[in-house]
Amino acid sequence: MTAKEKQIKSNVERLRNAVEAFANLFEQGLDYNTMVYEFWNAKDILGHITFWHESFARNISDLGKGIKPSPIKGKLSEVNKQSVETTKNESIKKLIKRLKDAQDTIEEFIFMDKIDLIPYKKGSRDYSRSEHLEVVSNHIHKHLEDISNKYGTTKEQS
């Protein structure tokens, strides 16, 4: 195994752990309508993460199958708003399944050597497989930390 392959393997494990921790948080039966940010509650964040994870999965799957990817278009603020609006009516159970399915797709294609750069969003630079895994892991960890902190504070106040 090359150093590059080891790095990707390590980053995949980190991402898998982040997805599992994120899903586990939403399997605890808490009140996920608790506001975490000014305009987003915990369930909105789950929808947001699922939306972006599915985008990553679609792009890497397309590359793996030799199809030209169609990355998300629009300003980041608009796309993030869309990520919540398009997932708002989904159940938590369905969003978790979609998130895990996207993770499975990512893991199916991430080790393909023929995949060099993965698009993130139209107008944004593409990322190497390892970089993309790091960016996504960091994104999930940040939201997981924010949600955990919010629920930790809520529990202490009751």
pLDDT digits (tens, 9 = 90+) for 90-108: 999 999 999 999 999 999 9
Give me the sign of the Cα torsion angle 140, 79, 57, 114: negative
pTM for this prediction? 0.92
CA angle 116, 83, 98 (to 5 degrees): 70
pLDDT of residue 152: 80
The CATH number that applies at residue 101 is 1.20.120.450
Split into its structural domains, the chain has a count of: 1
pLDDT of residue 142: 97
Quote the CA–CA distance of 40 and 33 in Å, as a whole number: 9
Contact 57, 102 (CB under 8 A): yes
- Coil, strand or helix at 151: helix
Residue at 86: amino acid letter: T
What residues in the chain have per-residue pLDDT under 70? 153-158
Contacts of 26-34 with C-beta under 8 Å, sequence gap 24+, read 26/92, 26/95, 26/96, 27/96, 30/151, 32/92, 34/150, 34/151, 34/154
For residue 113, the enclosing domain spans 3-157
> Which stretches does DSSP call E strand in 17-129?
117-118, 127-128
